[in-house]
Amino acid sequence: MVAAGAWAAQQPLDRAIFRVDYDDTELLGKAFTRGRSWPLVGTFVHLGNGAALGALYSIAAPRMPVPSWSRGPLVALTEHLATWPLVFVAERIHPARDELPKLSGSLPAFAQATWRHLLFGVVLGELERRLNPPPDPEPPPPYDHVVSSNGHGRLEHVATSG
């Protein structure tokens, strides 16, 4: 949820930078209501989606054979590339399609969505890494069996040359 919150909070900034008037909370909120409550509904749906992806990520991340710093961005960018083609469908069936910007075929919109997913992935991955550090390494096996009480070893373990 934190990563999705960071995404939503920075949207006004990336909308100005990329010059694309695309807001995920608007897309999600207006799918459920066209009234004045769409920003609140959209924010809750967006945070819920982030929490769901975060829960799946927390299960999958420890099993991923890549460095821990790359797991969050890798998952988020994979999700982005897998779902981006759906904007073409959304532009045709979304209830508020006439009020939303056209995203398909727009390189700035794709770059904006890539940035948002990268930010989400970095925040998600870093939170997971800090909240769930790897287990402590196994302690070395005891070596009491080869050391005498005076710390100099046992006569049984002396090697002779013969």
Could you tell me the pTM of the whole model? 0.78
**pLDDT score recorded for residue 95:** 95
Give the number of domains in the chain.
1
Q: What is the DSSP letter of 141?
A: P
Residue 52's domain comprises 2-136
Q: Does a structural domain hold residue 155?
A: no
Q: Does a structural domain hold residue 79?
A: yes
Helices and strands counted in the chain (H then E): 6, 0
Q: Does a structural domain hold residue 102?
A: yes
**pLDDT score recorded for residue 140:** 73
Q: Does a structural domain hold residue 25?
A: yes
Q: Does a structural domain hold residue 152?
A: no
Nearest Cα residue to 124 out of 77, 80, 71, 46: 71
Distance CA 131, CA 91 (A): 39
Q: Does a structural domain hold residue 17?
A: yes
**pLDDT score recorded for residue 137:** 76
Distance CA 117, CA 79 (A): 8
**pLDDT score recorded for residue 130:** 86
Q: List per-residue pLDDT tens for the chain, 162 residues long.
A: 898 989 889 999 999 999 999 999 999 999 999 999 999 999 999 999 999 999 999 999 989 999 888 999 999 999 999 999 999 999 999 999 999 999 999 999 999 999 999 999 999 999 988 888 777 777 777 766 666 666 666 666 666 665
**pLDDT score recorded for residue 133:** 75
Nearest Cα residue to 20 out of 93, 119, 113: 113
**pLDDT score recorded for residue 89:** 95
Cβ atoms within 10 Å of 55's Cβ, excluding its own: 11
Token output for 109:
């919109």
Q: Does a structural domain hold residue 157?
A: no
Contact 32, 45 (CB under 8 A): yes
Q: Does a structural domain hold residue 131?
A: yes
